Amino acid sequence: MESPRAADPQLISRSVRLDGGLPSFRAVLKGFDAPRTVWDSPGEATVIAGGAAATLTAEGPDRFDHIREAAESLFASGDVHAGTEAACPRLFGGFTFHADQPSQTDRAALDTDGGEPAEDTPESADPWAAFPDARFVFPRVQVTITDRGPWLTVNAVGPDASVAAVEERIETERERLCSLPAADPETPQPGLTDQRRTTTPDSWRGGVTAATDRIAAGDLQKVVLAQVLEVDLAADLEVGDILSRLGEKYPSCTRFLVEPEGPEPPAFFGATPERLVSLRGRTVETDALAGTTGRGETPAEDEWLADELLADPKNVHEHALVAETIREQLAPFAASVSTGDRQIKRLATVQHIHTPITAELAADTHVLSLVEALHPTPAVGGLPPDRALETIRETEPFDRGWYAAPIGWIDAAGNGTFAVGLRSAVATRRRATLFAGVGIVGDSDPDREWDEVELKFRPILDELEAE
């Protein structure tokens, strides 16, 4: 872990407004060194960043605390000229879904349960090998696109950091960014040469039935079971092109990209509809999102499907468990919690039941304490949490890694926003591993749940298949 001693002010951050036209999102991202970061959440400035001035990592169940402490020490003192709030120093990153990662051998052994065996390459053995239990990056170079124009930030941390070097880097980055095209042609979608499901229809039916049996026996109320779809690509993955198209198709979702360090690092990316939590001062906003149906061919059919979803006892029960649990999880921190109206969140491929929840905190609290309290919500874990996590472990023949886990940012004041890493994939140049899950309650039907998994693979799969 690279983190400075609090006594030594070693963090330098300089930002300038980028005058002139903004180069294309894809060109900016392509020009940055790994590890690259993208964060684009509704109502927030869009961040595209490259390199790491500092990296914080942590392992195990205390990973939230360790990151919070390391972040506090990194931000303890600094020489910062941000110019605008969105360009103030922030750490971007996330966590694994499970607190206790299976060992490398366990993961490799779990990899192919009854499905067609994947090629025995290091990638298929463990797509998450380069992702620790928690990892946050303080970017070296960051472009922040606000309502009032783009900003360029350069950061440096460590005994060798100097204002002169940071200011010089600002100038070279400004020139480089200004020379990038405002629009550049998209590459065609890569297309697939092969695809493999780690879960066969039979093993899925077995897993769902075992879960509904546990629910009937009173052992469990709800569990979210996921599947993996591994695809081989016919051409190189252009993650900037994919994120750019996801931004057009899913404007109400949070787009993200997380890359570990290394020469050709894997990318974890997606466009998730679910916010885990956002904290500004003492105001908390979060979403209960659970209960799913498809899209219709016409607006009337969409309405019909939405009405049916809101009236369906199975989906309403699944949703109510999530909303109620989030309220309970926030209660110990909150002076007040209020629940908005139950509504429909309509996305390009699916519709969900959505309840916005807000809270005012009773005392100053770091966003990571809320992340720790809320993750995993029953929208991606289940109830009761421990038994649901045990059921997930026993049933899923793969490791979730960072799928369905908190992905987001934190700042020096302990504010931040975290999304749930859904509608996502982890990918190398020629292979992507997609994840999608569904909430299982007492009256879940395995075949309908299988179809819902397929719907939730669509956002990423649609961008990888040849047009």
Binding interface with ligand ISJ (CB under 6 A): 224, 226, 274, 289-292, 352, 379-380, 404, 422-423, 436-439, 456
In DSSP notation, 320-361 reads HHHHHHHHHHHGGGEEEEEE---EEEE-SSEEEEEEEEEEEE
Q: How far is the CB of 294 from ligand ISJ (least distance, A)?
A: 12
Question: What's the CA gap between 291 and 449, in Å, rounded?
Answer: 11
Q: Helix, strand, or coil here: 425?
A: strand
Q: How far is the CB of 407 from ligand ISJ (least distance, A)?
A: 13
Active site residue 30: no
Long-range Cβ pairs for the range 61-65 (8 Å, 24+): 61/99, 61/100, 63/95, 63/96, 63/99, 63/133, 63/134, 64/95, 64/134, 64/368, 64/369, 64/371, 64/372, 65/368, 65/372
Q: Which is nearer to ligand ISJ, 366 or 423 (CB)?
A: 423
Q: How far is the CB of 274 from ligand ISJ (least distance, A)?
A: 5
- Catalytic residue chosen out of the listed positions 274, 372, 396, 463: 274
Phi-psi region of 84 (alpha: psi -120 to 50; beta: other; left: phi over 0): beta
Q: How far is the CB of 256 from ligand ISJ (least distance, A)?
A: 14
- Catalytic residue chosen out of the listed positions 173, 222, 345, 449: 222
Q: Which is nearer to ligand ISJ, 257 or 419 (CB)?
A: 419
Question: What's the CA gap between 411 and 85, in Å, rounded?
Answer: 10
Q: Which is nearer to ligand ISJ, 284 or 404 (CB)?
A: 404
Q: Which is nearer to ligand ISJ, 63 or 352 (CB)?
A: 352
Q: DSSP letter for 114, please.
A: B
Q: Which is nearer to ligand ISJ, 211 or 436 (CB)?
A: 436
Q: How far is the CB of 318 from ligand ISJ (least distance, A)?
A: 6
Q: How far is CA 433 from CA 94, 120, 139, 266, 448, in A?
A: 18, 15, 26, 11, 23
Question: What's the CA gap between 211 and 319, in Å, rounded?
Answer: 18
Positions marked active-site: 222, 274
